[in-house]
Amino acid sequence: MNVRVHAIQTGTITVKRAYRTPSGSNRLMRLNSVLLDRNWLTIPVFTWVIQHPEGTIVVDTGESAQARNPEWFPAPQRPFWMSQYRFNVTPDQEIGAQLRDMGIEPESIKRVILTHGHFDHTDGLYHFPNAEFLISRKEHDDVQRYRSAHFAFPSHFPSTFKPRIIDYVPEPIGTFDMSHSVTKDGTIRLVPTPGHTMGHQSVIVQDGNRTIFLGGDSSFDQDSLLNDIIDAPAFNAHVLRETRRRILDFARDEHLVYLTTHDWDTPERLAGRVPLQAVFTVNQAVAVPG
Ligand SMILES: [Zn+2]
């Protein structure tokens, strides 16, 4: 089969270290530990492009250089954004320019999958004026309802934004009971992976006997998945742990390559098709959450 997955890094964001490893037993405490932290951590922002016989599909749109301009943020929230985040993205690092370098015109893209509505996954939306954006019903509803309180700036959703609301159907894949097939041949599927946001979804690409799992922010990185580290912004830790258990159980039975948005090792694992199983075998002592 002729499916190719590419990872595209849209710059980095520097965040408080506690963003990845917060302290505190609930979300408020976790977020508070971020505000108090004085240590910084630079993280990549990956997106993916899937070249499939039924068309090229983009997964998430990454960060935009516009976020370097304080005026990108509404005035009342500016001090928060300016003090908590540093956006290291140039226009050439945005997804549009990088697709052009690969010989793909962003205007030709018809389908973009959004794992969730957070800014670092949606700030590049404007590169795709002719695309439908596949977003889960729950995520779409929550973005409408909570707006910038929780989702950062859907106000930056361009007027061309055409959501295609996804309802999952009972077509199981691995440990997931429900899914939505993006392609007619069923090789690219969306599955609900709630927890980070309650409408978060992941993308499963079946490429021969290997499965590539584009996990968005299901965990910050693979290490966080294996060691049960809940990131500060995660909306519901309990639900997120259920999701992660499903992913880990899936990876026991299949050659599953697990890739997330903010994992520096995403390109290496993708290139080497390194499965989660390999880590289970090497490190028997790994703590499985549950
Ligand atoms: Zn993110």
Q: Are 45 and 122 in contact (CB under 8 A)?
A: no
Render pLDDT for 105-133 as a digit per residue (tens, 0 to 9).
999 999 999 999 999 999 999 999 999 99
Q: Which ranges in the chain belong to alpha helices (H)?
A: 27-36, 78-84, 95-101, 119-122, 137-146, 148-151, 222-226, 237-253, 266-272, 276-282
Query: If you measure from the C-alpha of residue 210 to the centroid of ligand 1, how many angstroms do you get, rounded to a whole number?
Result: 25
Half-sphere exposure of 139 (CA within 13 A, CB side): 31
Residue among 284, 281, 275 at smallest CA distance from 247? 275
38: confidence class by pLDDT, cuts 50, 70, 90: very high
Single pTM value for the model = 0.93
Residue reference for tokens 């609930």: 26
User: 189: which strand partners?
Assistant: 181, 204
Both tokens assigned to 42:
């630079």
pLDDT at residue 282 greater than cutoff 80? no
Query: If you measure from the C-alpha of residue 120 to the centroid of ligand 1, how many angstroms do you get, rounded to a whole number?
Result: 5
Query: If you measure from the C-alpha of residue 3 to the centroid of ligand 1, how many angstroms do you get, rounded to a whole number?
Result: 25
DSSP 85-99: -EEE--GGGSHHHHH
Query: If you measure from the C-alpha of residue 232 to the centroid of ligand 1, how many angstroms do you get, rounded to a whole number?
Result: 11
Residues flanking ion ligand 1, Cβ below 5 Å: 120, 217, 261
Query: If you measure from the C-alpha of residue 225 to the centroid of ligand 1, how many angstroms do you get, rounded to a whole number?
Result: 15
Q: According to the model, what pLDDT value does residue 7 have?
A: 98
Query: If you measure from the C-alpha of residue 42 to the centroid of ligand 1, how many angstroms do you get, rounded to a whole number?
Result: 13
Query: If you measure from the C-alpha of residue 45 to the centroid of ligand 1, how many angstroms do you get, rounded to a whole number?
Result: 7
pLDDT at residue 151 greater than cutoff 70? no
Query: If you measure from the C-alpha of residue 145 to the centroid of ligand 1, how many angstroms do you get, rounded to a whole number?
Result: 20
Query: If you measure from the C-alpha of residue 1 to the centroid of ligand 1, how many angstroms do you get, rounded to a whole number?
Result: 30
Environment class of 176 (CB within 10 Å of its CB; exposed 0-12, middle 13-18, buried 19+):
buried
Q: According to the model, what pLDDT value does residue 1 have?
A: 56
Render pLDDT for 14-35 as a digit per residue (tens, 0 to 9).
999 999 999 988 889 998 898 9
Query: If you measure from the C-alpha of residue 266 to the centroid of ligand 1, how many angstroms do you get, rounded to a whole number?
Result: 14
